[in-house]
Amino acid sequence: MSDGRTDDPDVGHGHGHGHGHGAGRESWWQQLQHAVRPHSHDSVDSIDDVIESSAAGIRAVKISLVVLLITAGLQAAVVAVSGSVALLADTVHNLSDALTALPLWIAFVIGRRAANRRYTYGYGRAEDLAGLFVVVMIGLSAVVAGWESIRRLVDPVPVPNVGWVAAAGVIGFAGNEAVVIYRIRIGRRIGSAALVADGLHARTDGLTSLAVVLGAAGVAAGLPLADPLVGLFITIAILAVLRTAGRDVFRRLMDAVDPSSIDAAETALAALPGVESVIRVRMRWIGHELHADVDLVVGAADSAEAHRLAHDAEHELTHAVPRLRTAVVHAYPADTAQVHQALAGG
């Protein structure tokens, strides 16, 4: 299989450098900034964008960690008043799960380190490893919730001060859901699967706290088994969240991308004047950034024309695909042997 490269400068062309772009449609403010500050191909701008997106992730982790610690503190105060062992377990659970933000924090900090001769693509994969840790913690949450629910069914425990327990459950749900909305919004904006997974993790904690409320209501209505039954229902919900988060993180680790990104790239490249065909488009996520490798057949008479077409293709590609950081474009004149090798290998 040929990768389309050639040592003859008059035959093939490999060109690549990075760009930083946000996902989705630009706001009026971003359009105004682009109007007064032309787009740059400087690698320094790419590094600035990496630092900016990592900083946004770190900020999201810090704020959500503070919110969750406050939530756990309020629940602890209610535990002191009510003496509820069940609520104490939920409070400790929420507190321990809040600390899963620390691996993400570390991953975002590590991801800002520059590439070197050993880690030539940088340290963005640390983010994916943190996402894997979060998935493991979601799984453990499901195990703990299921175990406690089954234990309560076998050996029911009275729930004293039901009103206070319900209030603490509401506090736990509200705090976790606020973190969910914030983490997922920032995670999707910067393209971080790990941060989105941690947001979904917070949702499992919120559902667990909500189970405390529903269980307390059932106990108040004279149904002592309501608490463990609701706990089992929440365990099923946690497993559903685990499936979604695990799938997303696994796909990142396996270099999977959204097929629509490939479609967008192929459409944009095929529409460029001078591009005769698109041989192959490959992409991978590294942290919260996409990187692409492209092979094209171009109608170029010489290496200078091939270089220009490759540069145009790279520029168009980084604008057409959200979150694409770098694009390496290999352009081959149609009458070369290398293009036939690339077609056979693609």
The two tokens of residue 339 are: 């293009």
Mean pLDDT of 25-44: 38
In this structure, which amino acid lies at residue 327? A
pLDDT at 338: 58
Cα gap 226→198, rounded to integer Å = 29
The tokens for 109 are 């900090």
Hey, where are the domains in the chain? 13-23+257-345, 45-253
**Which helix (H) or strand (E) segment is 331 a member of?**
strand 324-333
Kindly report, residue by residue over 93-137, the tens digit of the pLDDT. Answer: 677 667 777 887 888 888 888 889 999 888 888 888 888 888 888
Q: What pTM value is reported for the model?
A: 0.67
The residue type found at 164 is: W
Which residues are within 8 A (CB) of 25 and not within 5 positions of it... i.e. 6 or more apart? none
Place of tokens 């924090």: 105
CA 208 to chain CA centroid, Å, is: 23
**pLDDT tens digits for 165-216?**
888 888 888 888 888 888 888 888 877 777 888 788 778 778 778 777 877 7
At residue 86 the predicted structure's pLDDT band, cuts being 50, 70 and 90, is: low
Cβ-based burial of 322 (10 A; exposed 0-12, middle 13-18, buried ≥19): middle
CATH topology of domain 13-23+257-345: Alpha-Beta Plaits (3.30.70)
Does the structural domain 45-253 have CATH classification 1.20.1510.10? yes
Gap between the Cα atoms of 244 and 198, Å rounded: 12
| pLDDT of 319 over the 50 cut | yes
CA dist 299 and 333 (Å) reads: 6
Per-residue pLDDT, 39 = 34
Task: Give me the long-range contacts of 176-184 (CB less than 8 A, separation at least 24).
Answer: 176/68, 176/71, 176/94, 176/202, 176/203, 176/205, 176/206, 176/209, 177/202, 177/203, 177/206, 178/67, 179/64, 179/67, 179/68, 180/206, 182/60, 182/63, 182/64, 182/67, 183/60, 183/64
Q: Which of 214-218, 273-277, 336-340 has the highest mean pLDDT?
A: 273-277
